[in-house]
Amino acid sequence: MTLTQLEYVVAVATYKSFVAAAEKCFVTQPTLSMQIHKLEEEFGVKIFDRNKHPITATEIGAQIVAQAKNILSESAKINQLIQQSQSEVNGVFKLAVIPTISPYVLPKFLAAYAAKHPKIKLVVTEMQTDEIVHALQNNEIDAGLLSTPLENNNVKEYPLFFEPLVGYFSEQSEALVKRVVSPKDIDLNNIWLLNEGNCLRNQVLNLCSDNIMRLQEERPYSFESGSVDMLRKMVDMNGGVAVLPELATFDFNEEAQDRIRYFENPEPVREISLVTNNHFVKLAVLQTIIDELLEMVPEKMKVQKSDRKVLRIQTAKL
């Protein structure tokens, strides 16, 4: 058994075709097929059912594919460990970011980071929280930038900052007479929410959990969005209220800024962290990302204070 043979096995399982797998591995199809056949003879089992199209793994083959992925992932860490011991900051780093953070951090971060670390190729993708955790556990990405705590023992969290949540009210709202508001000022009959799968949605519902029994289905239409900016526009055009992360409000015009209200203490915040799996070794690169991200946020967000409350991600149900 060789690592190359395992790479071929994983490629066939991924692309469900010997021809496509050979192209991705930059070898001829007969060469790839021969190596997999040798491995099957060595193991004494069939890894793939060649009578099915697309090609699928046998029952034992699926287990072999899963183990092959683990072996290849662990073997790749040897070079990473060597680079780490030499404090080398280079190579490819795959970062996933949740959509409620990326528009407000990445545009400035990416250019600044690339200028300081030209030897690192940063590959950034937007993903939902559940997708990030799955990708970490399958070694598909190096780290995720998302809201925590996740309460998941399979990942390691590196808290970076604590972002306040604020109320954004329509100009007709009675809450605007107040300097600060409480969760009870959030009218759940007229709140605009992110759709299912967004951790910010869950945090907003948890913030308003004492008030959630007041929610009724009286509005003549229902709308949920995957975009924080869309929530702002819905408030502007249709009234109501949205609870937004503070970073999303920094580019609001003066009129919109006047309709933002902070919450009374304990101030609700979301904890933003970099998250890796438990076997992560690219610590030198991770530290450069941490340092640059912290330059993107206000000083007041970098310290957790006793008069703040970190909102849970696990949801209160409607």
Query: Are 278 and 138 within one domain?
Result: yes
55, 84, 113 - which closes a domain: 84
> Does 194 map to a domain?
yes
Copy the structure tokens of residue 177: 């007479």
pLDDT attached to residue 83: 60
Spell out, as residue ranges, where the chain has pLDDT lower than 50. Answer: 213, 216, 315-318
Copy the structure tokens of residue 221: 């239409």
CATH code at 179? 3.40.190.10
Half-sphere exposure in the Cβ direction for 128 (13 Å, CA): 14
Asked whether the beta carbons of 250 and 104 are under 8 A apart, the reply is yes
Query: Are 48 and 23 within one domain?
Result: yes
Residue 242 has phi, psi (to 5 degrees) of -135, 145
CATH code at 18? 1.10.10.10
Total of domains in the chain: 3
67, 84, 101 - which closes a domain: 84
Which residue bears the tokens 């046998």?
Answer: 58
Write out the residue range of the structural domain in which residue 182 sits: 164-268
Asked whether the beta carbons of 273 and 231 are under 8 A apart, the reply is no
Copy the structure tokens of residue 142: 């190096």
> Does 318 map to a domain?
no
The set of residues, in sequence order, having a beta carbon less than 8 Å from that of 308 and lying 6+ positions away, is: 162, 164, 265, 266, 267, 268, 269
> Does 317 map to a domain?
no
Please state, in angstroms and rounded to a whole number, the distance separating the CA atoms of residues 54 and 118: 41
Q: Are strands 267-277 and 155-169 parallel, antiparallel or unpaired?
A: antiparallel
Asked whether the beta carbons of 243 and 186 are under 8 A apart, the reply is yes
Please state, in angstroms and rounded to a whole number, the distance separating the CA atoms of residues 152 and 161: 19
Query: What pTM value is reported for the model?
Result: 0.71
Closest CA to 97 of 107, 112, 111: 107
Query: Are 62 and 97 within one domain?
Result: no
Please state, in angstroms and rounded to a whole number, the distance separating the CA atoms of residues 95 and 253: 31
pLDDT attached to residue 218: 53
Please state, in angstroms and rounded to a whole number, the distance separating the CA atoms of residues 43 and 65: 13
Query: Are 277 and 152 within one domain?
Result: yes
Copy the structure tokens of residue 178: 């107040």
Query: Are 105 and 226 within one domain?
Result: no
